[in-house]
Every structure is written in structure tokens, then in C-alpha cells.
Amino acid sequence: MIVRSKAPLRLGLAGGGTDVSPYSDLYGGAILNATINMYAYTTIIPTSDGKIEIDLPDLDVNVSFDSAEQLQATGPAILHIGVYNRIVRDYTHAKLSFKISSHVDAPAGSGLGTSSTLVVSILGAFVEWLKLPLGEYDIAQLAYAIEREDLAMAGGKQDQYAATFGGVNFMEFYADNKVIVNPLRIRKTILYELSHNLVLYYTQTSRKSAEIIEDQTRNVKNKNGKSIEAMHKLKEQAVWMKEAMLKGDLNEMGRILDFGWQFKKQMASSISNTMIDKVYEAAVAAGATGGKISGAGGGGFMFFYCPELKRYAVETALQAFGGNVKRYEFTKEGLRTWTIQ
């Protein structure tokens, strides 16, 4: 038996950061995101040798353990171990024996939600193998609990829901981990045009999003007025972006992205830096009407809205910074699992 799963990575188009506690608990958060055809993949092969083997070819990591009901959650396979520990604790109540392998189409720390998407993919493979009675909201919430509570990794809530549901979604976040996912019916031609005009650029740098998010969290706890007001503006941006996409008013996209970027930088000092500012300025000088860093900030992917034929001049300008442009398409599907006997 071979069990497989895949979950899509996402672009956070508007409202990023308002899904992070305590802001979302105090004020409510709102995010607009869309999944793309880059994925986290997981394969599980059940075994009977009393071992657990974890293979991560993209990280050149292979580790194995004697099977146990709980494993120490450390090292490069911490996400896999965290999912396994929760599955045994909540569902099987008995140790399992298997080989598990995962791969992600983007590097860790690149701003496309890689870690959370990988957790959803791993969890999805276990759900498929063990036939667990979990729906989309259950899987997304459990993935969040594993990453944020069990493993104490700082971060928000949007990535787990984006990877599980897929498509273009307007998400609302409230206290007590209440999340409402509102799928948006966007015309195909609008999505085609958006993926053509929205240039995705990898800066060839990565960052530890947890440090940026912890800085943002401190600002809210310390009642930093500038940071909190910036988050309020980003929540407004998410509503503005939703309306523009539903109406097909793509000419507004660049302006909406730039509006959000100016306020996002005020959430925490580490979100931007000299290199990111130079890349942004060069893209705008070449014809982009707006853009942003993807994810928490500090590095990774950026994207820019380039109307008409401006993308080619923008791509040329970005070559000077040593990164690369990534072609992609938006996808409607979220987590998918299957079994081969």
C-alpha cells in the first residue's frame, strides 16, 4: 500500500498578519489569499518492522526511530514527528510503523506558507491511511494546533486553512480560534489575467518568520498604536481587495497592494530591509503599480502587479538583484489524498 497527499502553497494577497494572535483575538482579522500550483507532497508506506523512517530528499535528511507512542519532537523532521505524536495521542492510541517521505516545491522560509502546508500534507496522508473522520475545518484546525500549540511555533492561522481548502478565499479570524472561510467565485479570465500580471519573484533569501511574528505580537501586547493601526489598515485592505477581485477591477490591484505594503512595514521593524526596499523601488520604476513581500516578511518571495505588458520590463529590472521569477497558476483545489494498493 502507498498513501499519498499533496497540499498547495499560497499567495497572501491582502490582510497578512491580522490572523495572528493576539490581534485576531482582540480585533478580529481578515485575509484574502489564493493557492497556486506549487505543493507540499507526502507519501506514507506502512511497514511491519517496528520502525519509523522519515525521508526528506529536498533537505537531504533521512532519520529512523524505533516505533513508540510518542517521539521526541526535535530536529529537521520536527513537523512529521509532531503530526505523528498527535495522531497517536488522539486517534490510534497505539504506536505505528511506516516510512514517510515529503517534498515541498519551495524552500522553507520563502513566504509561501511552506511549513504549515507541509503539516497539512502530512496530516492529510495520515487521515487517508487511517480513514480518520476529519473534514476540512477539522484538518485545518488540527494542523494549526499541532504547529502552534504542540510544537510552540509562532505564526498565524491562514496557511493551514488555505492549504486545506484551496482556491481564492476571504478568511475571517476571531477569538477562541474561530475561523470562517469564505470561498470566492472569481471568473477564470480574471484569474488568468491576475497570474499573468502578478510577477512572483524569489529573492534567493530566506528568513525565520517566527522572529518577525514574535516582534509583531509584542507590539500588539504592548499596545503599540502605530503597529495596531497598521493592522487595522491591512484588514481594510483585505475587504478592498475582495471587492476588486469580485468585480474584476484588476486595475485597482497594484494600488491596493502598495497601500497594504506601506502599512505592513509598520507592523514590525524586521518586515522590510534595505535589499527588499531596493527591489520594490526597482520594480515600481520599471512599471509595477504595487507589490509586497509574501508571508511574514524579511525575505523569501515578493510579488508585483504589472499591468498590460509591464511584466517583461519588471522581470528585466529584477535580474539585477540575483533572484529569479517563478511562473505559476492559481489552483482551485486544496488538500488531495489517495491510496494505491
* DSSP state, residue 296: T
Quick one: cell of 299? 525575505
Q: Is 159 a catalytic residue?
A: yes
Q: Could you give the CA distance from residue 185 to residue 179 in angstroms, rounded to a whole number?
A: 19
Greatest C-alpha distance within the chain: 60
- Residues 151, 82 contacting (CB under 8 angstroms): yes
Quick one: cell of 302? 515578493
Any idea how long the chain is?
Answer: 341
Q: Could you give the CA distance from residue 278 to residue 194 in angstroms, rounded to a whole number?
A: 24
Strand bridging mode 98-104 / 51-56: parallel
- DSSP states of 57-105 as a string? GGGTEEEEEE--SS----STTHHHHHHHHHHIIIII-S---EEEEEEES
Q: Could you give the CA distance from residue 336 to residue 211 in angstroms, rounded to a whole number?
A: 31
- Active-site hit among 159, 215, 249, 277: 159
- Residues 4, 296 contacting (CB under 8 angstroms): no
Q: Which residues are known catalytic residues? A: 159
